[in-house]
Amino acid sequence: MGISAFYHDSAAALTVGNKIIAAAQEERFTRNKHTPDFPINAINYCLAEGGLELDDLDAVVFYDKPLLKFDRLLSTYYAFSPKGVSSFLKSMPVWLDEKLFLKRLIYKSLKEVGPFDTTKLKLLFSEHHLSHAASCFFVSPFKDAAILTIDGVGEWCTASIGVGRENKISILKELEFPHSVGLLYSAFTYYLGFTVNSGEYKLMGLAPYGNSASDETARFVHLIKKQLVNIKDDGSIWLDQSYFDYATGLKMVHDRKWKKLFGFSKRGDEDQLEQKHCNLALAIQQVTEEIVLKMAREAKKITECENICLAGGVALNCVANGKLLRENIFRDIFIQPAAGDAGGALGAALAVNYMYFDEKRDADGKNDSMSGSYLGPEYSGKEVGLMNRKTKAVCKEYADFDELASFVASKIAAGNVVGWFQGRMEFGPRALGNRSILGDARNPEMQKKLNLKIKYREGFRPFAPSVLAEDVAQYFDLDTDSPYMLVVAPVKENRRNQLPDNYYELPLWEKLYYKRSDIQSVTHLDFSARIQSVHKHTNERYWLLLNEFKKQTGYGLLVNTSFNVRGEPVVCTPFDAYRCFMSTEMDYLVINNYLYCKTEQADWENRKKWSLTFKKD
């Protein structure tokens, strides 16, 4: 059993031999997004899925080493003293009371899961970046591969290059705190008004609104590289800490110095987005891509491997992943779908499985072992029926799934939005067709409708397409698989519309709503899309729905966004799904073989009755 906890994105994962039995984030059960709490619910789920008790486990593995992290904190405060006194006084009591004695705290927390013999249950600790490396390499199809992990910070390490061969991993090179690509990107997340450790994907989505041809964007890139970060040829970086406050302070940057550098103040979280914000987002995205590509080339140079595996929070930067793919530095790429700290729980379990217990590994060169990342709980017809009785939901049960898929496809084609709940919940941040909200990618109003009336989030946010794996090349310039929605690729030229000469000078919202292609609602401003290729053997029901939509419309793709509203974790249970359906302007809901029409539900116009308040992310 692997565990991540006490920072953000707590999770648990269970492996038996070469098989991943279950993995889930704690937030899905507690409904507290990015929760750092000990993952009691996720552990209970994993044990239940495996038919095990705690005493059946060979080991419980924590995803990092707290004493090394404590060493980093003390060394950092000492190096920067007398700065950081307030941060030191705030953090030390927590460390001395809880985190420094983590072994005791974990055993205490496990007792809330169930009884076990403390003298027999082995508790192990994996280094943070080894957990990341194991999470991607050991589930990849490759017998050997370079491994690149990039995030904010683990214990000391902020990025690492390693090599995986059969059932062993060697870390060859590390970048150490306070110099961090992840923290650099998070600093801009903070300055542009988004939440650190949550809003980085918003920053990535904002970047295409920047004007790559503008003098301002070029000036921002120049300032970042001249004043903030020195980028070496091997991708390692040096950050000028006089501009940053994260090492010993209570925020990411020194606001006054950044205002003087870039010419404007930190954006408030609800302030209007202006072109300067978009241009700065584009600038840091371009700098990040440059660093990632240099790190990848260095990984190729020192490992001489043909394949690469990626993990760590920066590996969720789909735009950088797409650039890396198109550079052809490596023959093939695998990215862990739960690349952030939640995936560290899985990686910790895998690292111990292979490197401690010496389990033999079987990699066929083609298929990963993530099972489509469908590793969470699923719910039976009986459980859905109990939910229907409890909520007095009105629904129709279909005996024939093909008939249900045909009806749902017709409703999506008519402009309706459908909540789609099937099978096992996804592990990681992406909804991949089992906890999804679906719409018609051809509909030019769908992007606006989903953001403002369904998700209740910022209107600039882009949406991703799910496309039949067989049809990817009809829509996108992508010649490889992208099952986990982790690669951005260009929309085909023949699907694009001609842009007006002044397009990049238009106000943000005019640019957004200008019709750019025949799949408008998944075409970002730079004619890119974050793609999920759907295979029949991985998710048959979702594939059948897409195929039915293709039969009716000629288009084998849909808009796919996660089943939640802003600030809420992705739905887990049938009740979560029904409540979210009733609190938004979704038109239909499908749970297993049950279909719910909004206007047939009692008091369906009273959304406030079902609404919950979530902290904005």
pLDDT of residue 205: 94
Tell me the angle at which helices 215-223 and 275-303 cross, rounded to the nearest 10 degrees.
50
Confirm if 168 and 179 have CB atoms less than 8 A apart.
Answer: no
Q: Could you tell me the pLDDT band of residue 118, with boundaries at 50, 70 and 90?
A: confident
Residue 64 to residue 124: CA distance in whole angstroms: 10
Q: Render the burial of 246-255: b for 16+ CB within 10 Å, e for the rest.
A: bbbeeebbbe
Taking residues 387-392, report their average pLDDT: 96
What are the pLDDT digits (tens) for 144-197?
Answer: 999 999 999 998 999 999 999 999 999 999 999 999 999 999 999 999 999 998
Q: Could you tell me the pLDDT band of residue 84, with boundaries at 50, 70 and 90?
A: low
Cβ count within 10 A of residue 552: 13
pLDDT of residue 509: 86
What are the pLDDT digits (tens) for 23-61?
Answer: 999 999 999 999 999 999 999 999 999 999 999 999 999
What are the pLDDT digits (tens) for 461-473?
Answer: 999 999 999 999 9
Q: Give the closest residue to 603 by CA, choosing from 393, 384, 388.
A: 393
pLDDT of residue 83: 66
Average pLDDT, rounded, for the chain: 94
Of the CA atoms within 13 Å of residue 272, those in its CB half-sphere come to 5
Beta bridge partners of 558: 466
Report CA dihedral (48, 565, 184, 82) to the nearest 10 degrees: -80
Long-range contacts of 48-55 (CB under 8 A, 24+ apart): 49/14, 49/21, 49/22, 49/377, 50/14, 50/16, 50/21, 50/22, 52/14, 53/114, 53/116, 54/110, 54/113, 54/114, 54/115, 54/116, 54/121, 55/115, 55/116, 55/117, 55/120, 55/121
Report CA dihedral (511, 512, 515, 521) to the nearest 10 degrees: 160
Q: Could you tell me the pLDDT band of residue 615, with boundaries at 50, 70 and 90?
A: confident
Q: Could you tell me the pLDDT band of residue 613, with boundaries at 50, 70 and 90?
A: confident
pLDDT of residue 506: 85
pLDDT of residue 384: 98
Q: Could you tell me the pLDDT band of residue 267, with boundaries at 50, 70 and 90?
A: very high
Q: Take residue 283 and report the two structure tokens written for it.
A: 């600038």
Residue 397 to residue 393: CA distance in whole angstroms: 12
Of the CA atoms within 13 Å of residue 496, those in its CB half-sphere come to 16
pLDDT of 414 strictly over 60: yes
Cβ neighbourhood burial of 191 (10 Å; 0-12, 13-18, 19+) = buried
Residue 220 to residue 225: CA distance in whole angstroms: 9
Residue 13 to residue 354: CA distance in whole angstroms: 15
Beta bridge partners of 591: 421, 594
pLDDT of 276 strictly over 70: yes
pLDDT of 100 strictly over 70: no
Give all domains of the chain, ordered by start, each with its CATH number: 381-609 (3.90.870.20)
pLDDT of 92 strictly over 90: no
Cis ω before 208 (30° cut-off from 0)? no
pLDDT of 95 strictly over 60: no
pTM for this predicted structure: 0.94
Q: Is the dihedral of CA 513, 518, 522, 528 positive or negative?
A: negative
What are the pLDDT digits (tens) for 358-380?
Answer: 999 999 999 999 999 999 999 99
Q: Could you tell me the pLDDT band of residue 407, with boundaries at 50, 70 and 90?
A: very high
> Residue 513 CA to chain centroid, in angstroms?
26
Percent of the chain at pLDDT above 70? 95
pLDDT of residue 502: 87
What are the pLDDT digits (tens) for 287-320?
Answer: 999 999 999 999 999 999 999 999 999 999 999 9
pLDDT of residue 69: 72
Q: Could you tell me the pLDDT band of residue 98, with boundaries at 50, 70 and 90?
A: low
pLDDT of residue 10: 97
Confirm if 475 and 441 have CB atoms less than 8 A apart.
Answer: no
Q: Could you tell me the pLDDT band of residue 119, with boundaries at 50, 70 and 90?
A: confident
Taking residues 585-605, report their average pLDDT: 96
Q: Could you tell me the pLDDT band of residue 283, with boundaries at 50, 70 and 90?
A: very high
pLDDT of 211 strictly over 70: yes
- The 3-state DSSP class for residue 432 equals coil
Size of the chain, expressed as the number of residues it contains: 617
Confirm if 564 and 614 have CB atoms less than 8 A apart.
Answer: no
Q: Quickly list DSSP for 314-337.
A: GGG-HHHHHHHHHHTSSSEEEE-T
Taking residues 385-394, report their average pLDDT: 97
pLDDT of 129 strictly over 70: yes
pLDDT of residue 99: 60
